[in-house]
Amino acid sequence: MSNMIFIDACFRRPTAHTPIWMMRQAGRYLPEYMAVRAKAGNFLSLCHDPEMACEVTIQPVERLDVDAAILFSDILVVPNEMGMELQFIKDHGPKFPKPLVTDADLDALDMKAADKLVYVYDTIAKVRSRLRADKALIGFTGSPWTLATYMIEGQGTKTYAVVKKKIATDPAFMHKLLEKLTIIIQDYLCKQIESGANAVQIFDSWASALEESAFFEFSWDYMLRIAAHVKAKYPHIPILLFPKGVSGYLDKIREKGGNFDVFCVDWSTPIELAKAKLGDKYILQGNMEPTRLYSKEATKEGVEHIVKVMGKESGHIFNLGHGMLPDLDPENAKYLVDLVHEMTKR
Amino acid sequence: MSNMIFIDACFRRPTAHTPIWMMRQAGRYLPEYMAVRAKAGNFLSLCHDPEMACEVTIQPVERLDVDAAILFSDILVVPNEMGMELQFIKDHGPKFPKPLVTDADLDALDMKAADKLVYVYDTIAKVRSRLRADKALIGFTGSPWTLATYMIEGQGTKTYAVVKKKIATDPAFMHKLLEKLTIIIQDYLCKQIESGANAVQIFDSWASALEESAFFEFSWDYMLRIAAHVKAKYPHIPILLFPKGVSGYLDKIREKGGNFDVFCVDWSTPIELAKAKLGDKYILQGNMEPTRLYSKEATKEGVEHIVKVMGKESGHIFNLGHGMLPDLDPENAKYLVDLVHEMTKR
């Protein structure tokens, strides 16, 4: 038993209630976040400033009483420190003005990126020293595939045509890049743990861009390698994997196995299905549709369904099935947290 | 037996080979399409001109020898004829500058829209009179949910936050709109059939925006109602449903049943899974990842896998798992069609 309910739940140990946190719980829907964000100037400056990043990491824990904090940062700081210029353009999202095209571009990537992410480690150390002892701090990274997609497309994409053309015409290029990212991410997560992270989550936000065979070849297998590496070094640290939108691939995910603790379920995967396919092998985290938070009634209905399926016993961490939206009401978020705590009391 | 291999396949009758056509086969990857498009001026003018729309509908049949033509049109002509101004903005996609907000907006919608879509019926009549007799002509519509999404969001969206806020806070508004769309679409499809369409497909492109319970309540049930209506009137016309990205909901789709003929499988649903869950109840159409067409090698691998799973016997219509991309090579598309015909010869 640890003193953290979130960590106990990751290892299927009994807990007083089902723990809950929310993806993007530190974000624009919170006025106190917006205040710090305004002070920071731009988004990347906020990621680079451990004091302010620490502040926004802790805000939702204080306001909502969630059971875990998640490091405030961005998945794209990794490619940024690998030498790629990164811009955040208003109403457009992140952009790499010089996306990767040639093998020479790959050779130019800085393999010491994990050493340069000191502002992340400093943020983690600060948060851990100030966070209540019973609240877990979750570190995170983007998956190799999701980072590679941004690095090749240069920005968000609807069709993923550029990166998929690489898959169809030059898979060796993809594997070379994914290999580099895997090595850096392994190091990055270990350093986060050494700085005080109590758990780490790998976000594979673009998993759903890949058909089944490509998902395993270009994404999942690399995530499993990272998990195995971190697990070998830090077996007491839970590893959470979040491949978004892969409800069609659960049989094969089960069959493949893998040394991680928590499978994160997005809202497009029915929780019943995730439970039936993976619930005995992994703790499930998820998966309420975030837009239910637009109303208390829809929130209550969502919670009741998920709690009914997952039960009050161990095996479940409550979360949203995707990130908080900027125009959600913090009051409804608080209502959600209280409701889950109340309804799952053992 | 009909004289059309595509129609026979829709009813699981034996055919000489597996039929194939491609979503967006009439489109920007074809130079002959671009020539007509340039002549038309803008995209909507092309939809409005039966002569030119007929020409681009037939082009891919002539170049590629696919087994079916699909009407050249756009799903948004329906809301447009319901009274909503529609713009196509370069590099941005379609836009309704005045999206639906209030109940009064719903009351103002023109319920005679199906009567005004004469340019679509004229296109169908023209195509049917000129198309080779053994090639089927597929009519189509957007699903009520997908159209409603555009009408409420006003444009494409990543988060669907506006329409989902309606779902969470004012479901009655949604049902009122979906009801109106259902009535118009039923009429629209019947008129397409009366004009010469040999089959009709309902595209639910935004199905994947909905969690399971919402998908059935706000989309699938309306699609089944439309299918039942059309089927009662025209039992010899195959109905194809394409809810994109619902691999997690196949159990419930099976359980619900429904009077349609072909279930269209997108590329994110493994064809093995679709076959196991639905293959005995419905003909399956799909589902090669379109970006495989970037290379002949990837195309061949994709075809071999799908043909191996679906077999050479009846029960399958080959298609892509999503639309053709503008930068694909027509030569590879031709290679795909020939390969499927060759490999599935009985």
For chain A, the structural domain boundaries read 5-343
Q: What is the token pair recorded at B86?
A: 């529609």
Model confidence at A71: pLDDT above 90: yes
B24: annotated active-site residue: yes
- Min distance B274 CA to chain A CA atoms (Å): 9
Model confidence at B101: pLDDT above 90: yes
Model confidence at B22: pLDDT above 90: yes
Q: Of all helices (H) and strands (E), which one includes residue B188?
A: helix B171-195
Beta carbons of B213 and A305 less than 8 Å apart: yes
Model confidence at A92: pLDDT above 90: no
pLDDT tens string B117-145: 999 999 999 999 999 999 999 999 999 99
Q: What is the token pair recorded at A315?
A: 């095996």
Q: Roughly what angle, to the nearest 10 degrees, separates helices B296-310 and A161-169? A: 90
Q: Sign (positive/negative) of CA torsion A322, A88, A197, A109?
A: positive
- 3-class state of residue A208 by DSSP: helix
For the ranges A125-129, A154-158, B6-10, B220-224, which has the lowest average pLDDT?
A154-158
What is the pLDDT at residue A237? Answer: 98
Name the residue type at position B196: G
Residues of chain A positioned with their CB less than 8 A from the CB of B268: 208, 211, 245, 248
A91: annotated active-site residue: no
Model confidence at B290: pLDDT above 80: yes
For the ranges A84-93, B157-166, B233-242, B315-324, which has the lowest average pLDDT?
A84-93
Q: What is the token pair recorded at B176?
A: 């009122």
B132: annotated active-site residue: no
Model confidence at B314: pLDDT above 90: no
Q: What is the token pair recorded at B76?
A: 């948004």
- 3-class state of residue A199 by DSSP: strand
A28: annotated active-site residue: yes
- pLDDT level of residue A309 (50, 70, 90 thresholds): very high
Question: Rounded to an integer, what is the distance from CA B86 to the centroid of its chain?
Answer: 20
Q: Are A86 and A96 in contact (CB under 8 A)?
A: yes
- pLDDT level of residue A337 (50, 70, 90 thresholds): very high
Nearest-CB residue to B294 (from A165, A273, A293): A165
CA B330 to CA B333: how far, in whole Å? Answer: 5
Residue range B213-239: mean pLDDT, rounded: 98
Beta carbons of B291 and A249 less than 8 Å apart: no
Residue range B72-97: mean pLDDT, rounded: 94
Model confidence at B91: pLDDT above 80: no
Kindly provide the b/e burial profile for residues A138-154, where b requires at least 16 CB atoms within 10 angstroms of the residue's own CB: bbbbbbbbbbbbbbbbb
Q: How many residues does chain B have?
A: 346
Catalytic residue among B12, B63, B65, B74: B74
Distances (CA, A) of B304 to A211, A287, B116, B318, B342: 15, 36, 45, 12, 11
Pick among B268, B271, B273, B275 to test the A interface (most A CBs inside 10 A): B268
Q: Are B23 and B324 in contact (CB under 8 A)?
A: yes
**What percent of chain A has a predicted confidence (pLDDT) above 90?**
95
Question: What's the topology of domain B5-343?
Answer: TIM Barrel (3.20.20)
Closest CA to A23 of A186, A266, A209: A266
Cβ of residue A298 closer than 8 Å to a chain B Cβ: yes
Beta carbons of B211 and A321 less than 8 Å apart: yes
- pLDDT level of residue A148 (50, 70, 90 thresholds): very high
Segments of chain B assigned E as strands? 68-70, 87-89, 93-95, 136-142, 199-204, 239-243, 262-265, 283-288, 316-320
Pick among A164, A265, A268, A284 to test the B interface (most B CBs inside 10 A): A268
DSSP 8-state class, residue B42: S
Model confidence at A1: pLDDT above 80: no
What is the pLDDT at residue A149? Answer: 98
Model confidence at A36: pLDDT above 90: yes
What is the pLDDT at residue B2? Answer: 82
What is the pLDDT at residue B312? Answer: 80
Cβ of residue B327 closer than 8 Å to a chain A Cβ: yes
CA B290 to CA B323: how far, in whole Å? Answer: 7
In the block, tokens 């990274």 appear at: A141
Name the residue type at position A213: S
What is the pLDDT at residue A206? Answer: 97
- pLDDT level of residue A232 (50, 70, 90 thresholds): very high
Q: 204-263 in B: which are within 8 Å (CB) of A?
A: 208, 211-214, 245, 247-249, 251
Q: Are B242 and B201 in contact (CB under 8 A)?
A: yes
pLDDT tens string A269-300: 999 999 999 999 999 999 999 999 999 999 99
Annotate B202-218 with DSSP letters as a single string: EEETTGGGS-HHHHIII
Model confidence at A192: pLDDT above 90: yes
Segments of A170-296 assigned E as strands? 199-204, 239-243, 262-265, 283-288
CA A79 to CA A111: how far, in whole Å? Answer: 10
What is the pLDDT at residue B92? Answer: 81
What is the pLDDT at residue B185? Answer: 98
Q: What is the token pair recorded at A316?
A: 């479940």
